[in-house]
């Protein structure tokens, strides 16, 4: 990781710190996240580290759910020429996503929607669904389980969700492993370029 006071580079991506003038400008313009999408969360780096070792197919159609500032999607667009759509329930995250996608030279399609509203027909447009740190309230566990089931029925080939192992995520992971044929969790810890630990829930649609 390279770092100066307002910018850093992680996994080849440029990231602006909260003190950067463009981030401060967006906050002053009233873009204040309402559902914790106020920064890049470290679980996204755990998932990037996994994708570095297990790359996606070039030009995969990727959906990032609960994208926040969208770094995972930006990583996929840059490294796998993925066609990325990012969704989040909170519209205030999108200016930060746009800022970072432009900074990193990629285009991401962004849409405001919540887990519950992504239909099977709409999900059928994607090969892979990714999400990081999106299961932190109790009701998210069942909403995400239902979303994963719809995605598998729609033909999505793989779903990966990373998390620092909050209880709703652990419940989601247990439910998936109990009820879905190809669901597994893997524990991950990294100290470089960012310190992070947690689990990945990986569901393959075979
Ligand atoms: C902890 S942040 C993680 C953001 C990003 N994935 C990351 O790792 O940096 C959780 C994100 O999920 C979004 N979110 C919360 N509930 C949601 C829902 N029901 N549907 C879609 N997005 C949701 C929030 O707006 C926020 O951006």
pLDDT digits (tens, 9 = 90+) for 137-149: 999 999 999 999 9
Atom of ligand 1 nearest to the CA of 136: 1
Using most ligand atoms within 8 A of CB, pick from 16, 18, 37 the residue to mutate for ligand 1. Answer: 37
Provide the whole-model pTM.
0.95
Asked if residue 69 belongs to a domain, the reply is yes
Domain range spanning residue 71? 36-204
Asked if residue 5 belongs to a domain, the reply is no
Atom of ligand 1 nearest to the CA of 162: 8
Asked if residue 63 belongs to a domain, the reply is yes
Measure the CA angle with vertex 71, ends 70 and 76; round to 5°: 105
Can you give the pLDDT at residue 4?
58
Can you give the pLDDT at residue 18?
86
For 49, residues 6+ apart whose C-beta sits below 8 A from its C-beta are 11, 188, 190
Atom of ligand 1 nearest to the CA of 67: 6
Can you give the pLDDT at residue 37?
67
Total of domains in the chain = 1
Sign of CA dihedral 196, 198, 199, 200: negative
How many CA atoms within 13 Å lie on the side-chain side of 67?
A: 33
Q: Are 16 and 23 in contact (CB under 8 A)?
A: yes
pLDDT in tens, 77-134: 999 999 999 999 999 999 999 999 999 999 999 999 999 999 999 999 999 999 999 9
Asked if residue 84 belongs to a domain, the reply is yes
The pairs formed by 176-182 with CB atoms below 8 angstroms and a separation of 24 or more are 176/145, 176/148, 176/201, 176/203, 179/145, 180/148, 180/149, 180/152, 181/206, 182/206
Asked if residue 140 belongs to a domain, the reply is yes
Q: Which of 65, 4, 15 is nearest to 39 (CA)?
A: 15
Asked if residue 2 belongs to a domain, the reply is no
Asked if residue 15 belongs to a domain, the reply is no
Whichever domain contains 73, its CATH number is 3.40.50.150
pLDDT in tens, 9-67: 999 999 998 889 999 999 988 888 888 767 688 999 999 999 999 999 999 999 999 99
Check if 93 has its Cβ closer than 6 Å to any atom of ligand 1.
Answer: yes
Using most ligand atoms within 8 A of CB, pick from 89, 93, 201 the residue to mutate for ligand 1. Answer: 89
Sign of CA dihedral 134, 175, 179, 177: positive
Asked if residue 7 belongs to a domain, the reply is no
pLDDT in tens, 167-199: 999 999 999 999 999 999 999 999 888 899 999
């Amino acid at each position: 990781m390279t770092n100066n006071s307002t910018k850093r580079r992680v996994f080849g991506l440029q990231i602006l710190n909260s003190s950067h003038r463009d981030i401060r400008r967006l906050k002053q313009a009233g873009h204040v996240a309402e559902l914790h999408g106020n920064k890049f969360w470290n679980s996204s780096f755990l998932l990037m580290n996994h994708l570095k070792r297990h790359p996606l197919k070039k030009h995969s159609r990727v959906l990032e759910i609960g994208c926040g500032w969208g770094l995972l999607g930006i990583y996929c667009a840059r490294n796998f020429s993925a066609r990325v759509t990012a969704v989040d329930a909170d519209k205030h995250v999108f200016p930060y996503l746009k800022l970072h996608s432009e900074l990193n030279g990629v285009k991401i399609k962004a849409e405001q929607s919540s887990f519950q509203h992504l239909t099977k027909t709409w999900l059928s447009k994607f090969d892979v669904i990714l999400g990081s740190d999106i299961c932190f309230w109790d009701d998210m566990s069942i909403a995400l389980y239902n979303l994963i089931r719809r995605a598998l029925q729609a033909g999505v080939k793989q779903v990966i969700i990373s998390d620092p192992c909050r209880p709703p995520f652990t419940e989601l992971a247990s439910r998936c492993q109990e009820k879905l044929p190809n669901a597994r969790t893997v524990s991950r810890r990294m100290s470089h370029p960012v310190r992070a630990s947690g689990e990945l829930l990986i569901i393959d649609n075979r």
